[in-house]
């Protein structure tokens, strides 16, 4: 029972981060399940089954608050579900550790670009054309869904990072669209794990505990996304991408635990400082912008 309560709190925290930054539910939940000795495929299966409920509530919440670009969802969701199904059934036996460092390095570089893109604005307000090419979205969905099933989390880190770096959608719609389309990805991955493992290989108790915590946090996370300015949300998401992937890259290079901890602490301090700077720049931009334009952009 105590394990289920702990998992409930983990699901709540993971969904709070995922619903507001567009990533981390799968990674956070899978990491804890793996730490308890659960096999990678079984851990990823439990996470995907819990995500069916959390992503449904998250998607409804994001839609209600206007955080979803339905064109993006309509293009990226089905390829994502197909990729997740393939990863769960045919590719779950392939070790993901080989590609993980390279993917982490790519995401880290994209995170740096996202942060730079929003910080370089100075007193100007960010602009978003609002349309991402289908030739970009469909392959992105397959790759992100594939990585999500194999690694227990990857839809958000890959999808959110890539869409933010494109600069086409405002951050809150990136987060809302990725979270909403993840419902299809969760279904695809879950069906794949049922096909590969059977119901006996999945701990539905763990999935249920994660689900309860995630459902509680989903509406609040969607509201938080609506509240934050695009500049602040972009820097917060980009910094989180850098922080999490820097740890993976350092560990793959053989860095000691103390070195990884030291670098993580420094990056965390820099990340917080960048968020504070973004808040100041947003205030400057709003002060220089007519109130009617501010209300429209918000």
Return the residue matching tokens 């983990």. Answer: 10
Q: Per residue in 183-236, pLDDT tens?
A: 999 899 888 878 876 766 667 787 888 888 888 888 888 887 777 777 787 788
* SS3 per residue for 196-265: HHCHHHCCHHHHHHHHHHHHHHHHHHHHHHHHCCHHHHHHHHHHHHHHHHHHHHHHHCCCCHHHHHHHHH
Q: Per residue in 43-63, pLDDT tens?
A: 777 777 888 888 898 899 999
Q: Per residue in 120-172, pLDDT tens?
A: 765 565 566 668 889 999 999 998 888 777 766 678 778 887 888 787 888 88
User: How much is the pTM?
Assistant: 0.73
- pLDDT score recorded for residue 96: 53
Q: How many helices (H) and strands (E) does the chain have?
A: 12, 0
154: which 2 tokens? 């990857």
Q: Per residue in 242-264, pLDDT tens?
A: 887 788 788 888 888 888 899 98
């Amino acid at each position: 029972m105590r394990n289920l309560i702990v998992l409930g709190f983990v699901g709540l925290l993971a969904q709070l981060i995922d619903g507001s930054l567009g990533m981390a539910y799968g990674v956070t939940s899978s990491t804890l399940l793996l730490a308890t000795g659960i096999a990678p495929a079984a851990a990823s299966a439990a996470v995907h089954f819990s995500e069916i409920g959390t992503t449904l509530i998250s998607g409804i919440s994001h839609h209600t608050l206007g955080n979803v670009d339905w064109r993006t969802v309509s293009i990226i969701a089905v390829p994502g579900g197909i990729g997740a199904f393939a990863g769960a059934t045919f590719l779950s036996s392939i070790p993901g550790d080989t590609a993980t460092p390279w993917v982490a390095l790519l995401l880290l570089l994209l995170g740096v670009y996202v942060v730079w893109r929003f910080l370089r604005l100075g007193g100007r307000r960010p602009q978003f054309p609002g349309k991402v090419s289908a030739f970009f979205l469909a392959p992105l969905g397959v790759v992100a869904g594939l990585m999500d099933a194999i690694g227990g989390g990857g839809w958000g880190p890959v999808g959110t990072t890539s869409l933010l770096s494109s600069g086409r959608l405002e951050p809150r719609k990136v987060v809302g669209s990725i979270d909403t389309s993840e419902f299809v990805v969760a279904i695809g991955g879950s069906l794949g794990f049922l096909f590969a493992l059977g119901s006996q290989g999945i701990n539905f108790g763990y999935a249920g505990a994660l689900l309860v915590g995630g459902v509680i946090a989903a509406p609040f996370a969607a509201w938080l996304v609506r509240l934050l300015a695009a500049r602040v949300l972009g820097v917060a998401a980009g910094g989180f991408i850098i922080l999490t992937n820097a740890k993976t890259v350092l560990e793959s290079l053989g860095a000691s635990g103390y070195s990884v901890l030291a670098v993580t602490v420094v990056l965390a301090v820099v990340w917080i400082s960048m968020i504070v700077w973004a808040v100041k720049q947003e205030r400057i931009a709003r002060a220089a912008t007519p109130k009617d334009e501010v209300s429209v952009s918000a």
